[in-house]
Amino acid sequence: MFERSEAAFEAARRVMPGGVNSPVRAFKAVGGTPFFADRGEGPWLYDIDGNRYIDYLLSWGPLIWGHAHPEIVEAVVAAARRGTSFGVPTELETKMAEKVVALVPGVEVVRMVNSGTEATMSALRLARAYTGRECIVKFEGGYHGHADSLLVKAGSGVATFGLPNSPGVPHSTAEKTLTLPYNDVDAVRRLFAERGDEIAAVIVEPVAGNMGCVLPVEGFLETLREVTQSHGALLIFDEVMTGFRVALGGAQARFGIRPDLTTLGKVIGAGLPVGAYGGRRDIMALVAPDGPMYQAGTLSGNPLAMAAGLRSLEMLEAAGPALYERMEQFGQRLVRAFTEAGRRRGIPVYGHAIGGMFGLFFHDGPVRGFADASRSDTARYAAFFHAMLREGVSLAPSQLEAGFLSAVHSEREVGQTEEAIVHAMAAL
Ligand SMILES: *Cc1c(COP(=O)(O)O)cnc(C)c1O
């Protein structure tokens, strides 16, 4: 079933670390050989052995319009015909910035970059420049890309591989990163009471998506807003995953909390490499060339990426809130299918769905943070993951990752997935 992928993986391993360009693609957490993609179409992904999957990985989040959406492909092709990069401004960049500013409540001014990592790294530098302070606060199991300051108790692949911190990060950098348990309001208040005047910013995933999908408890985000404000620190919502995904305006629109800075990625590029950071006008005024905080990029605001992202955002805007409600209903159906099938078999199961994100845990719940999430049964998840692949469904190859829905997953695919879940659970 995976012969070609096995051969392809062997060849890849000879010339690339682990055979991949991003660690989580190697399927280490679930074992076995990763399947190699041949092509995608809507909610479907085809591998090079000719297997077909209903795709809930969706390139780890960006593909809210599924694979190869005709309108997005057309936008990219039309842009490419006019030239792939210019190194001088284009009007397309302004249109894209206007759209982001119009949609995301906390963003008044925005700078495009090429990845989520670049966005968070730049936002931190900006927060440090603005406040003149050096410490940042992040939460255990939060993943904010692979910049040095942020690889401390990080989620996603770092957690999947059981690496608390990465070698290569200077001690002097790591010690400026203070970590707290997600959703722990008291811990936040205690830390600020002790060290509030050293803290430049709190960076948080407003819905955590890199320790599985974990929702903020009531009062958590509100507390972060209040405490940062009263101590002169900035609040950064890392909406690289949640932006345009849990709601059109991101988690900040959904929960009605305005951060000082926002980082975006994934959905913003519709499958092309785009990230962005933006926020309050007075803070963004420090970014070069308006201000002294330096940050640049040869390919930033790339016309192909802007064309894809802009078309995608226009389509999301046209679809309106109904799209997010529909994705959430589908996500809840998958979670329900999973928990009901698990309970019938006497297996501990738990899950969440919000907007176009969901999380499935082999854990009796509740899952409120990294300590809970990491007590989930990973061996069982691995077995479930492979059983789902055999059923023709592609999930994230680690329990400490979120699942994603797209605008093109229909009743039919979701119904088939519910059946697949029942079969896969029965095979455990
Ligand atoms: C994926 C992710 C990042 C990193 O984005 P890249 O484009 O992979 O560099 C940062 N923050 C969050 C919340 C993410 O989910």
Model pLDDT for residues 313-364, shown as the tens digit of each residue: 999 999 999 999 999 999 999 999 999 999 999 999 999 999 999 999 999 9
Residues framing ligand 1 (Cβ under 6 A): 115-117, 120, 143-145, 205, 209-210, 238, 240-241, 265, 275
The question of whether 238 is a catalytic residue gets the answer yes
Single out the catalytic residue among 184, 266, 324, 372: 266
Flag whether pLDDT at 23 surpasses 90: yes
Q: Which of 55, 238, 260, 372 is the catalytic position? A: 238
CA of 405 to the centre of ligand 1 (A): 17
Which atom in ligand 1 lies closest to the alpha carbon of residue 120? 10
Query: Which residues make beta-bridge pairs with 426?
Result: none
Cα–Cα distances (Å) from 236 to 30, 279, 370, in that order, read: 33, 9, 20
Question: 112 CA distance to ligand 1 centroid (A)?
Answer: 14
Domains of the chain: 70-319 (3.40.640.10)
Which atom of ligand 1 sits closest to the CA of residue 116?
5
Q: pLDDT category, 174, cuts 50, 70, 90?
A: confident
* pLDDT classification of 152: cutoffs 50, 70, 90: confident
Dist CA 215 CA 373 (whole Å): 12
Q: How confident is the model at residue 164 (pLDDT cuts 50, 70, 90)?
A: low
Q: Report the nearest-CA residue for atom 6 of ligand 1.
A: 116
> What is d(CA 116, CA 99) in angstroms, rounded to the nearest whole number?
18
93 close to 310: Cβ distance less than 8 angstroms: no
Q: Of 63, 139, 144, which is best to mutate to test ligand 1, by the most ligand atoms within 8 angstroms of its C-beta? A: 144
Q: In the annotation, is 143 catalytic?
A: yes
Distance in Å, CA 404 to ligand 1 centroid: 14
Residue 270 CA neighbour count, 13 Å, CB half: 27
- Residue 66 CA to residue 171 CA, distance in Å, equals 41
pLDDT tens for residues 368-409?
999 999 999 999 999 999 999 999 999 999 999 999 999 999
Gyration radius of the chain over CA positions: 21
Nearest-atom number in ligand 1 for the CA of 266 is 7
Mean pLDDT on 69-93? 98
Residue nearest to atom 5 of ligand 1 (CA): 116
pLDDT at 366 > cutoff 70: yes
Catalytic residue among 53, 143, 182, 277: 143
Catalytic-residue membership of 148: no
CB contact set of 163 (below 8 Å; sequence gap of 6+): none
Confidence band, pLDDT 50/70/90 cuts, at residue 162? low
Q: What is the pLDDT of residues 191-242, one digit of tens each?
A: 999 999 999 999 999 999 999 999 999 999 999 999 999 999 999 999 999 9
State pLDDT tens for residues 295-314.
Answer: 999 999 999 999 999 999 99
Distance CA 206, CA 258 (A): 11
Asked if residue 102 has pLDDT above 80, the reply is yes
Q: Are 24 and 156 in contact (CB under 8 A)?
A: yes
